[in-house]
């Protein structure tokens, strides 16, 4: 089903067929500022590279003669059966990548039956996204603001607009040291990009003397002072979990004890993630963290994974190590940059096609068959 479309998609031949090609084309499409913002990481980008190299120590052990003619990529998380394990990660300010911004991503995700996580700092408001892309499951990512009333307001708006989960990001209590952006003197927020959810929020607007339309600079400064919170604590997280009926997911943790605390505090799931290496330079890779987290004992919630997924083999390895779902990050942003909604759809079809082949050729008919025994640890 997946390959036929790709092999016969002659009209798509002008578009890339591999993630590296999408990446190359995105690089030549975007302004230097936008490219560096998308591609960059913290410090010397050690963690960005480590996220990739961690996959190399695990090898798949293919098994044969198992009749792999019927395969399914079905996965289960947040209490629902899914067609595939993939989810689109929250990536902020998509207007710097493509004119359609998050609308393109939300529509592509809906078309491919994958949940779409809208960033707090999206270029388009959460309500507008639902209006323009009513199909498909959406989750709202939340940077815990310093102002608890803003948090409550965002959660209420998300519930009302039909978002099905709140994804609280733990790893961004401050913005990481990103040298490319510092060299370019570029931060999209300082140019008024990515502030739609704040500028449309009644609680945020009450903090301003004049509305953003009248004094943009002051509004941007106010945003900078409240959008993240170095005081954020487990007590605050508990409070968020008890504020809402919809599932809360904690994203951006890598320590086993933090995972346990998250579940104890009321999280339904966690995303093992280091924000694609954009926050703590030198941090443990996300895959190594996943291995540590799932190594022993039962966990009282679901484990999702991101930071480093580029190929089907990576997804099989992460699932074998205990992930129920995989967030796709930069790769879909490359495809968005190159060809908007159509680009993301084509890229996601390629992901599913590769995944389906990689599974079948490894002797896997159902992702549930994957476990540590499916892998060989090289070092």
Whether 300 and 263 have beta carbons less than 8 Å apart is answered as: yes
Provide, rounded to whole angstroms, the least separation between the CB of residue 50 and ligand FNR: 11
Provide, rounded to whole angstroms, the least separation between the CB of residue 368 and ligand FNR: 24
Provide, rounded to whole angstroms, the least separation between the CB of residue 136 and ligand FNR: 18
Provide, rounded to whole angstroms, the least separation between the CB of residue 119 and ligand FNR: 3
Whether 31 and 184 have beta carbons less than 8 Å apart is answered as: no
38 vs 364, which CB is nearer to ligand FNR? 38
CA–CA separation, 46 and 281 (whole Å): 6
107 vs 330, which CB is nearer to ligand FNR? 330
Provide, rounded to whole angstroms, the least separation between the CB of residue 330 and ligand FNR: 3
Instruction: Find the largest Cα–Cα distance for the chain.
Output: 71
12 vs 55, which CB is nearer to ligand FNR? 55
191 vs 365, which CB is nearer to ligand FNR? 191
315 vs 352, which CB is nearer to ligand FNR? 315
Q: ∠ CA 159-307-140 to the nearest 5 degrees? A: 10
Cβ partners under 8 Å of residue 336, min gap 6: 94, 97, 98, 104, 105, 108, 343, 344
Give the residue carrying structure tokens 């199909």: 135
Give the residue carrying structure tokens 């389906």: 356
Provide, rounded to whole angstroms, the least separation between the CB of residue 67 and ligand FNR: 34
Select which of 49, 98, 275, 311 is catalytic.
Answer: 275
Q: How many CB atoms lie within 10 A of CB 73?
A: 19
Q: Which residues contact ligand FNR by CB under 6 A?
A: 37-38, 51, 89-92, 119-121, 141, 169, 251, 273, 275-276, 278, 306-309, 329-330
What residues does 302 pair with on adjacent strands? 269
Whether 340 and 98 have beta carbons less than 8 Å apart is answered as: yes
Ramachandran angles phi, psi of 163, nearest 5°:
-70, 145
12 vs 141, which CB is nearer to ligand FNR? 141
275 is catalytic: yes
Choose among 193, 253, 185: nearest CA to 224. Answer: 193
CA–CA separation, 157 and 155 (whole Å): 5
Structure tokens belonging to residue 71: 């395969």
Q: What is the set of active-site residues? A: 275
């Amino acid at each position: 089903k997946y390959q036929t479309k790709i092999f016969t998609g002659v009209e798509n031949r002008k578009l890339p067929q591999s993630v590296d090609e999408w990446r190359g084309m995105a690089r030549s499409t975007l302004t230097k500022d936008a490219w560096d913002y998308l591609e960059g990481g913290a410090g010397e980008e050690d963690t960005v590279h480590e996220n990739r190299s961690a996959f190399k120590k695990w090898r798949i052990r293919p098994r044969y003669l198992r009749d792999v003619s019927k395969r399914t990529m079905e996965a289960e998380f947040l209490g629902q059966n899914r067609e595939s394990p993939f989810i689109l990660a929250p990536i902020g300010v998509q207007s710097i990548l493509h004119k359609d911004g998050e609308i393109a991503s939300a529509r592509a995700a809906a078309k491919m039956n994958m949940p779409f996580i809208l960033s707090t700092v999206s270029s388009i408001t959460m309500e507008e996204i639902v209006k323009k892309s009513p199909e498909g499951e959406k989750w709202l990512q939340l940077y815990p603001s310093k102002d608890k009333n803003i948090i409550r307001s965002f959660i209420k708006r998300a519930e009302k607009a039909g978002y099905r989960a709140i994804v609280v990001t733990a790893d961004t209590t401050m913005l990481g040291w990103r040298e490319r952006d510092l060299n370019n003197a570029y931060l999209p927020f300082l140019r008024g990009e990515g502030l739609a959810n704040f500028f449309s929020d009644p609680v945020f607007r009450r903090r301003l003397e004049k509305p953003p339309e009248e004094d943009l600079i002051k509004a941007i400064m106010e945003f900078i002072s409240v959008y993240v919170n170095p005081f954020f604590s487990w007590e605050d997280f508990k409070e968020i979990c008890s504020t809402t009926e919809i599932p809360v997911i904690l994203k951006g943790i890598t320590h086993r004890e933090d995972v346990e605390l998250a579940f104890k505090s009321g999280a339904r799931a966690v995303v093992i993630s280091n924000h694609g290496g954009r926050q703590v330079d030198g941090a443990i890779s996300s895959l190594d963290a996943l291995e540590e987290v799932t190594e022993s004992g039962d966990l009282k919630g679901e484990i999702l994974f991101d930071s480093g997924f580029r190929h089907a083999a990576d997804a099989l390895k992460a699932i074998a190590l205990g992930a129920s779902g995989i967030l796709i990050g930069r790769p879909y942003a490359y495809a968005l940059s190159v060809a908007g909604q159509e680009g993301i759809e084509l890229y996601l079809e390629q992901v599913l096609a590769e995944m389906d082949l990689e599974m079948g050729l490894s002797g896997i008919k159902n992702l549930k068959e994957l476990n540590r025994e499916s892998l060989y640890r090289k070092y």
